[in-house]
Amino acid sequence: MRIVLVRTVLVPILCYVGEIFGMSATRAGAFQKIADDAARLVAGVGRSTALQRLRNELKIKKINTRVSVARERVHTKWAGSKTWISEMINQPFKNRLDTWVSGSIRWKKRFLKGADSKTTAQALRDRKIRYGRSKITQWAMSNNIELTCN
């Protein structure tokens, strides 16, 4: 029951600040720590527990992944709508400041290269596994074991 509360109340509240921190995993770190502490509290485990495995067990996605998927979906979906938002997306402002649109475009170019057929979540998962430096990841890759990642 408590994990349902974390998944349905706490994580969406933490995702609201995605508008402020954007798609940056570094800036989302403080909010991810809140979600991780809540998951540890609900599961009744200590600090030595691997958070990746705990998140997989409790079916909680990382805050950054969830916000990035939502923003990329909105950027793709609203580009074809018949409202003023599509004009803002298709003809972004040419100024020196970052906007929601320019940040989303830059993020998609950087992290979703060659991932046209994949979803954003799959592309982020594959990228994390590809650049994973943990001993578990390296062992699993050398033994051809399929890895899953939040």
What phi and psi, each to the nearest 5 degrees, are found at residue 29?
A: -60, -40
Residue 149 domain-assigned?
no
Residue 147 domain-assigned?
no
CA 122/CA 149 separation, integer angstroms: 9
Residue 148 domain-assigned?
no
Low-confidence stretches of the chain (pLDDT beneath 70): 96, 114-118, 146-150
Q: pLDDT value at position 45?
A: 92
* Total count of domains within the chain: 1
Q: pLDDT value at position 99?
A: 75
What is the CB neighbour count within 10 angstroms for residue 45? 14
Measure the CA angle with vertex 73, ends 17 and 124; round to 5°: 80
Residue 150 domain-assigned?
no
Structure tokens at 7: 């998944």
Residue 24 domain-assigned?
yes
Residue 35 domain-assigned?
yes
Cα distance from N-terminal residue to C-terminal residue, the chain: 22
Q: pLDDT value at position 110?
A: 77
Domain of 45, in residue numbers: 1-141
Are residues 93 and 53 in contact, defined by beta-carbon separation less than 8 angstroms?
no
- Cβ neighbors of 141 (< 8 A, separation 6 or more) are 129, 147
Are residues 3 and 56 in contact, defined by beta-carbon separation less than 8 angstroms?
no
